[in-house]
Amino acid sequence: MFTLPDHFKVFLSRIEPEDARVQAAQYIPDQLRDFLQDSQDITTVEPHSRLAGSYARHTATKDIKDVDIILFIAPEYRKQSPGDVLKTLFQALQDLPEALDDKGEVTIRRQQRRSVNVHLENADFDLDIVPAVALGGITSPLEIPDKEWSKWVRTHPLGYGERLSELNKANDEKVVPLVKILKHWRDIHMIYRRPKSYWLECMVYHNIADDSVSTDAMSYAELFRDLLGSIYDDFLSDLNKDRAVPRVNDLGHNVAHNWERDDFEAFMDRVKESHGRAKRALEQDDETDAISLWRKEFGDAWFPEDVEQERANSLRSAALAGSIYITPSGRVLTEKPTGRYVKPPIPRFYGED
């Protein structure tokens, strides 16, 4: 059985967010927090804001397009209607463009169901700002306004993020990468009718937390196969019921309450198909055939065909940057080892003469 650990390592590195996008996701929310903290149009309370969403939980992949921000507003807003609170936030943000360093067009675009959206044209970046009242403190479930339901709803995004981090540490840091793999798989195989990223995160979380999928001594290839199989088995009873859709819980709340039946059926078709392909990839007697199947699963541009060439390119880049290390045993590494090592001189070229 070819589990291809080196191939999966390269694959995971390829779907990591770009540094520039990570920097934008760090810097822009800080400016927003400072602006709203000083605003006279809305009253915020300590700690004023927290990052939420996939970036905050380190489960973002590829090109980060948006960041979710929880804005902690004063408890007295809880007496107002959800629509009025979102309108207040919308109005408070009107002077935000002048407060940001981004010199492109900044648009306070719309009041959404539970948030206000801000779009930064230059950075090609969106902020979704969710007002929340923390009556029991930020470590307890929050109450946020839902304009469509015309009521305040309880949610626990920060608690879920902490639980995910704890679960990841308890499972040899394999849970977060598995979330990223599943989200990338969704992007490759579902152009339309895509389930939300948070739903996929919760599927991974509960399959690991409930011991439906074990990470012990398992490769990512095996984990992905087992995860798809477990998801399909869990949801099969709903698939066999007329017009039913499954619950997808985070910490007790059904986050997929608006999953449409047709979208659910499309998801299950893709899960079944990919589960079969993952099983076949692990059953191959020839490594080339196994690699070919995984490339169909994750896309040729993302899953490497030749990791040796990838390693050679990495070493060459590291050498040019002066970032390679040679151990006493002769191993060449691109990451600084904990023991003894030698750094070769940076190669320089001054022309033919």
pLDDT tens-digit readout, 131-143: 999 998 888 889 9
Q: What tokens does 49 get?
A: 């804001």
Task: Give per-residue pLDDT as tens, 51-61.
Answer: 888 888 888 88
For the whole model, what pTM was predicted? 0.81
Measured CA to CA, the distance from residue 189 to residue 157 in angstroms comes to 27
Strands 66-73 and 44-52: antiparallel
Strands 125-132 and 116-120: antiparallel
Q: Please answer whether residues 215 and 172 qualify as being in contact, where contact means their C-beta atoms are separated by less than 8 angstroms.
A: yes
Residue that is written with structure tokens 């675009």 in the block:
109
Domains of the chain: 19-155 (3.30.460.90), 160-298 (no CATH), 322-353 (no CATH)
Measured CA to CA, the distance from residue 228 to residue 73 in angstroms comes to 40
Q: Please answer whether residues 53 and 161 qualify as being in contact, where contact means their C-beta atoms are separated by less than 8 angstroms.
A: no
CA dist 136 to 82, 133, 140, 141, 303, Å? 19, 9, 6, 7, 45
Q: Please answer whether residues 150 and 81 qualify as being in contact, where contact means their C-beta atoms are separated by less than 8 angstroms.
A: yes
Query: Collapsing DSSP states into helix, strand and coil, what is residue 47?
Result: strand
More confident residue, 251 or 11: 11
Measured CA to CA, the distance from residue 226 to residue 179 in angstroms comes to 13
CA angle 345, 334, 342 (to 5 degrees): 40
Measured CA to CA, the distance from residue 117 to residue 96 in angstroms comes to 12
pLDDT band at 350 (very low <50, low <70, confident <90, very high): very low
Which positions ≥6 away from 286 have C-beta within 8 Å?
Answer: none
Task: Give per-residue pLDDT as tens, 74-101.
Answer: 999 999 999 999 999 999 998 888 877 7
Residue 334 has pLDDT above 70, yes or no: no
